[in-house]
Amino acid sequence: MQYSQNSDYFCAMHIWGDSRPYNSYAAYFRRLFGSRVQKVAVNAGFTCPNRDGAISTGGCTFCNNSAFTPSYCQPTKSVSEQIAEGIEFHRRRYRTATRYLAYFQSFSNTYAPLEYLKSLYDEALQNPLVAGIVVGTRPDCVDDEKLDYFASLAKSHYVALEYGIESCNDAVLASVNRGHDFATAQRAVQMTAERGIHCGAHFILGLPGQSDEELIAQTDIINTLPLTTVKFHQLQVFRGTTMAEQYDREPEKFRFWTVEQYIELFSEILSRLRPDIVVERFASEAPPRYHYGRNWGLVRNETLWMMLEKRLLEKSVYQGKNFVPLRH
């Protein structure tokens, strides 16, 4: 993309090392590894403490994990088998990838005894094409012992923990049956980062009770977290979830943006986001068979990124343009 010379938006190089108007995930890995790196999803058969009765049942009201799980991810297959099939799948789709990260994606991938976790992660790292692991989990499913183990792995491999934080508002978290508060997420992120482990977070934008103004203001709270990466997801209601039942009962509590409205909102969030945080995604896609209620149809992520960049160009906005560090 060619940028105008007349705006401070289009400086030759942003602090993240290129002229793209946001700190992109792909460029982040090119800086680390010198080439494209691709995630390979793994379903290791975990559950969550708000599913199995440890703290609640039913899981998060919005969750249908199948909507985001590739077909080759079957917990009946070994970790090694899933990685091998995933690498073959991505080799056909992304031929420029040379290294892979085993992405333990489904449910809470630290919700088990440490010795069992070690067996899974050590198996993943035995594949010579796997440069590291990315572990998706809940902030209430880590402790010092587990984090010390991940820190030891991080001395020789890329290791990242991704926490489902979803919201910084405790009332919103309670309404979706998360089973933990935001303070729990803050502690987990801090404990992870202070050990030198890459740390990511997921946030859902548009959960019932959230206004645009709150979502924009929430960015200032996100900026206080020592995060490496972040994923934003627009609210999607999926079939078979408690949230789908809630939508049937009380549709007035739900609001859905058009693509254009969402991009406008996210451009404001991005302008306030700390510039060193890597943006892995700003919206989600799922197979149409899972959609319930209003959705964007078959708009692919590549198209959404192009639409976002176009709007940022029109507004002369880039990540962190309006970022204000907190003063102590």
pLDDT in single tens digits along all 328 residues of the chain: 333 434 454 555 899 999 999 999 999 999 999 988 999 999 999 999 999 999 999 999 999 988 878 777 889 999 999 999 999 988 887 777 889 999 999 999 999 999 999 999 999 999 999 999 999 999 999 999 999 999 999 999 999 999 999 999 999 999 999 999 999 999 999 999 999 999 999 999 999 989 999 999 999 999 999 999 999 999 999 999 999 999 999 999 998 999 999 999 999 999 999 999 999 999 998 888 899 988 887 788 899 999 999 999 999 999 999 999 876 5
- What per-residue confidence (pLDDT) applies to 68? 79
**Res 4: pLDDT:** 41
Euclidean distance between CA atoms 208 and 176, whole angstroms? 9
pLDDT at position 72 = 79
Side chain identity at 288, as an amino acid letter? P
Helices 182-193, 144-153: crossing angle, 10 deg rounding: 40
Q: What pLDDT sits at residue 281?
A: 96
Q: What are the extents of the domains in the chain? A: 8-315
CA dihedral 222, 133, 204, 108 (to 10 degrees): -110
* Model pLDDT, residue 2: 37
pLDDT reported for residue 205? 97
Of 276, 165, 166, 168, which Cα lies nearest the Cα of 221?
A: 168
Q: Are 60 and 50 in contact (CB under 8 A)?
A: yes
pTM: 0.94
Cβ atoms 229, 28 nearer than 8 A: yes
Write down the pLDDT at residue 12: 56
The pLDDT of residue 216 is: 98
CA–CA distance, 315 with 293 (Å, rounded to integer)? 31
DSSP state of 20: S
pLDDT for residue 327: 67
Sign of CA dihedral 215, 207, 210, 285: positive
Among candidates 293, 297, 164, 183, which has minimal Cα distance to 233? 164
Of 125, 82, 89, the C-alpha closest to 106 is: 82
Q: Which of 323, 328, 326, 321 is nearest to 8 (CA)?
A: 321
Domain 8-315 has CATH 3.80.30.30: yes
Q: Which residues pair with 201 in a beta bridge?
A: 163, 230
Nearest to 74 by CA among 43, 40, 102, 107: 43
